[in-house]
Amino acid sequence: MQDDEPGTEPSDGAAPPAPGAGATPGPEETYATDGPPGPDRSSAPWAAPAGQGTGSGNGPRRRTRGRVVVYAGVAVLAAGLGTAAAAGLAGTPAAPVTGVSSHQVPGPHNNVGTSGRGSLDKAYVAAQVSPGVVNIDAAIAYSGGTSSEGTGMVISTEGLVLTNNHVINGARTIRMTLATTGQAFSATVAGYDATHDVALLRLDGAARLKIVQVGNSAQVTVGTPVLALGNAEGQGGRPALAEGVISSLKKTISPTDENTGATETLHGMLETDADIVSGDSGGPLANSAGQVIGMDTANASSSQGTSSVLGYAIPIDSALSVAHQIAAGQASATVQIGLPGFLGVLVPQSNSASPRQQAQQQRQQVQQQQQSAGPGAPASPAGDGTAPQGGGCTDDETHTPVPVSIAPVSSGALVDGVLCGTAAASAGIVNGDVITAVNGRAVTAPGSLTSMLSGLPPGTKVTLSWVAVSGQQMRKALSLSAAPAR
């Protein structure tokens, strides 16, 4: 956001719209990693060891005017948007749940670790919640080395973990570490709901784990003392702590993904002045009884008037409602069970019937991106948005230049690239080939290819027809690969 442009305040709402009902995003709402410091981010007694997980309240950060709403996740080596789409992503649209008010079910009042803000005892709450907290490290697939770090909550002794979908969006592999013991696990995706930013993960080989205790978010009131716990700044170790109070209910926000630039709208959020920072996404927001009332999701900073930081959490009732649906295997218009299947080819974002027109449109998009990026930006391998014909597979879908030569066919979906380790790579498809049919049904454009494969789970067998650059007609039966979470 430019310093001379106003931001957009999150809005109050008497009642949130139905799930999935979008609101018009406000101007200039973008990801940010800086802002003025918020309330104390404690490093003792239940935060990380020295140098770990102490959050971002140790010094001032660059200020911006207005209010900037951001996800509270850490992205490392963030990648930009590519110019092609991965064909064959199955599943439904993916994109996000609570506790008892602290004055109704208070914790002990022994004054140890209290800060004078309400009746919350930080040491007591941290001791209750921390054993059920995990640190998440998700390696994002096909993005040139990007990783995402966040937080999760153990909600079953067998290792079901609740977190935000944006923490694992695009992940190929997920590693989790119990915050208090350091025990590490690999994890699989049980399912997700990207519309409501909720994901349910399963720790492989876990048993008899400590779980977080949840309260009733419907009973949370303004002024309730809360404690946010999380993997602040992705530093790992014991959860860092941020104390605050609930400042508003039923907020509507539109945070933006720093990796993709995509903005989504979340309704019914709890607002707090606890200093929720990058890495806290998916972590618990607890009341004074040590019960989780929300899932940390986003933050907003402002320098208008007095400096302040606002944090946002999905009410735990809402998040658990989605988690229970996933655990029961109940897919819906927004809930994806497990990972979707996909073919693994990159195709132009075009509905043109002619592969040559697709290539021309793609080339123009690449040139426009290079011009807008400026003279210092890296150029494509051929300098003009083209790539040598027949190149090998790629692990980076963010850079998909147009093939120099394309198959001699009048309609179909042009292949810009092939992702390594996928069904398409195993079948021998290369950039410049044109896919013409799936199970005997004609593919007329990239959009029809994606539509035909949408909703198919991994392992689904399909018969693919394509024309190679040489003009040879190809036909093979193959099984769809597992796509990254979306």
Residue listed under structure tokens 């999380």: 230
Determine how many CB atoms are found less than 10 A away from the CB of residue 204: 12
Overall domain count for the chain: 2
How confident is residue 364, by pLDDT bands cut at 50, 70 and 90?
confident
Asked if residue 255 has pLDDT above 70, the reply is yes
Q: Residue 273's domain is classified under what CATH number?
A: 2.40.10.120
Average pLDDT over residues 439-446: 94
Q: Indicate the residue among 321, 337, 353 that finishes a domain.
A: 337
> Tens of pLDDT along 187-216?
999 999 999 999 999 999 999 999 999 999
Q: Domain of 283?
A: 30-337
Do the domain assignments include residue 245?
Answer: yes
Domain match, 313 and 398 both:
no
**The token pair that represents 138 in the structure block:** 């998700």
Q: How many helices (H) and strands (E) does the chain have?
A: 6, 30
Q: Is residue 340 within 8 Å of residue 457, measured between CB atoms?
A: yes
Q: Residue 249 burial (CB < 10 Å; 0-12/13-18/19+)?
A: middle
Domain match, 248 and 163 both:
yes
Do the domain assignments include residue 159?
Answer: yes
Q: Indicate the residue among 306, 337, 368 that finishes a domain.
A: 337
Domain match, 168 and 296 both:
yes
* Euclidean distance between CA atoms 326 and 270, whole angstroms: 23
Domain match, 100 and 208 both:
yes
Determine how many CB atoms are found less than 10 A away from the CB of residue 437: 17
Domain match, 121 and 70 both:
yes
* Euclidean distance between CA atoms 409 and 465, whole angstroms: 12
> Tens of pLDDT along 25-51?
332 222 212 222 333 333 222 222 222
* Euclidean distance between CA atoms 278 and 287, whole angstroms: 21
Higher-confidence residue of 124 and 299: namely: 124
* Euclidean distance between CA atoms 437 and 246, whole angstroms: 55
Average pLDDT over residues 439-466: 93
Domain match, 326 and 370 both:
no
Domain match, 333 and 197 both:
yes
Q: Residue 422's domain is classified under what CATH number?
A: 2.30.42.10
Do the domain assignments include residue 17?
Answer: no
Average pLDDT over residues 404-410: 90
pLDDT of residue 359: 85
Do the domain assignments include residue 11?
Answer: no
Q: Is residue 395 within 8 Å of residue 444, measured between CB atoms?
A: no
**The token pair that represents 479 in the structure block:** 């099984």
Domain match, 291 and 356 both:
no
**The token pair that represents 35 in the structure block:** 């802002």
Amino acid, single-letter form, for residue 352: S
**The token pair that represents 350 in the structure block:** 């075009």
Do the domain assignments include residue 19?
Answer: no
> Tens of pLDDT along 57-69?
332 222 222 334 5
Q: Which residues contact 224 (CB under 8 A, 6 or more apart)?
A: 101, 102, 103, 118, 245, 246, 287, 293
Do the domain assignments include residue 323?
Answer: yes
Domain match, 429 and 306 both:
no
* Euclidean distance between CA atoms 192 and 458, whole angstroms: 16
pLDDT of residue 328: 97
Q: Indicate the residue among 337, 355, 383 that finishes a domain.
A: 337
Do the domain assignments include residue 16?
Answer: no
Report residue 456: phi and psi, to 5°: -90, 130
Beta bridge partners of 475: 465
Domain match, 180 and 304 both:
yes
